[in-house]
Amino acid sequence: MPSFKVKVKWGKEMFPDVEVNTEEDPLLFKAQLFALTGVQPNRQKVMVKGMTLKDTEWGNMPLKDGVMVLLMGSKEEDVPSEPAVKPVFMEDMNESELASAMDLPAGLTNLGNTCYLNATVQCLKTVPELRDGLQTFEASVGGGSFVPSQSITVALRDLYSAMDRGASFSPVVLLQVLRLAFPRFAEKGAGGVYIQQDANECWTELVRMLQQKLPAKAVEGAVKAPKSLIEQYFGGQFDVEYKCVEAADEPPTRTEEDFLQLSCFISQDVRYMLSGLRSKLQEQITKNSPSLGRDAVYTKTSKISRLPAYLTVQFVRFYYKERESVNAKILKDVKFPMEFDAVELCTTELQEKLAPMRDRFKQLEDKKVEEQLTLKDKKGGDTKVKTTKEPYWLENDLGSNNSGYYTLQAVLTHRGRSSSSGHYVGWVRQNDNTWLMCDDDKVTPVSSEDILKLSGGGDWHCAYVLLYGPRILELPEGTVLKAPERTAEKMETETASTPQE
């Protein structure tokens, strides 16, 4: 009988009916103890009748129902900090230390079909405001009760801290609390092996848990105070209009909808991301008509009334095949831009608010062209010009986007034919033209050209989730820009004349 319910004693605390499954790795049991006590697995000493549990095997541990398991170890915050690390020379470094010295982020160990989690963690790590929010999150786990949102937030915070120290790291604690919170991620297939999971479902659940625990940054004079940091930096809003197709005299109804992701639907006609986004923003639905007294066809038109700083776009690549009972994949090639302009998807009111910053971007680009022409025949050095970064958010709305301009900063891809098989990889931007391919514990530099090849069309990695960050306006010292004179109508004209497709 590989599964038992035991008693765990830690100091003065007692935890009854803790499940132990000896068919799983002992580290998963230690991760479960972390969720209960807050003691990191590397600080745990687990004993049963004088025998100590190893990380790699159960050995001859005398486990049975009701047996007493003794846990020794302190929470990290209860242990004095280590002394400063001594300098290490490059010739004395191992492979992981060299990766850290070369500014390559840590990889994540695949614990058996867990690439969906590893890719998601690497992509979300590119958001500095999320990292700051996690670092200042002071809660811990323990106390005997399992709170999914708190345990996942603490586990992700601790995982990012460990990854910052370099080297490949095992996300065993985050994986265990994710499976405890959402049992579907613990599903097993033939032979008792954990099955592959949908990375976008993992992304959605992680963000939803963080949304419950990370508080928003305070803003004086905010028109609408966000409830969480996730809503503040990842959350957008639609203005939605419903117009009855079958009753022309029925007045349209209007409402608002919140979103954390935009969906890019892929049909036979869709060749570019913007087209797929447009198809979702105007669609036919069926709902009850008060004037007709029955269900009728409506046109649902959505326009974005708030753009978040970080825009998540999911490519809807999977659909359910009843005959094979599998989420089959659409391999179609759909191009996505490195620089995305979302203004076309916005309401007229929001376009008016975006106009001033868009005008500043245009003025700066014009100045750069003029300076290049003026200095063409002059000899110049390589002295770097100091720049000032302007805020990317609207006044009194921290975490929004004030221009509609975005820069691609992370891509989550899938290689395979169904969401429950294949392999997921995270691709993250390191600087302007250098990206990093985060394939579990292997992190490799790649170019922007390699990223653009992820648009699909074959059995190579296909973009599944894209993460766009705000395009930052950097003004060289002494640069003065004119006050904006543009209107939303003029902006729409310019956008139409230079389509992203």
423 is catalytic: yes
Catalytically annotated residue among 115, 202, 264, 346 = 115
Cα–Cα dist 399/234, whole Å: 8
Catalytically annotated residue among 123, 423, 438, 462 = 423
Cα–Cα dist 30/240, whole Å: 48
115 is catalytic: yes
CA 493 → CA 120, 137, 304, 344, 497, distances in Å?
A: 38, 45, 18, 10, 6
Q: Among 401, 389, 383, 382, which residue's Cα sits nearest to residue 311?
A: 401
Sign of the torsion angle spanned by Cα atoms 25, 26, 31, 35:
positive
Q: Coil, strand, or helix at residue 317?
A: coil
Q: What are phi and psi of 148, to 5 degrees?
A: -50, -50
Cα–Cα dist 490/306, whole Å: 20
468 close to 451: Cβ distance less than 8 angstroms = no
Exposed (0-12), middle (13-18) or buried (19+): which is 305, by Cβ within 10 Å?
Answer: middle
Sign of the torsion angle spanned by Cα atoms 325, 331, 334, 338:
positive
Active-site amino acid positions: 115, 423
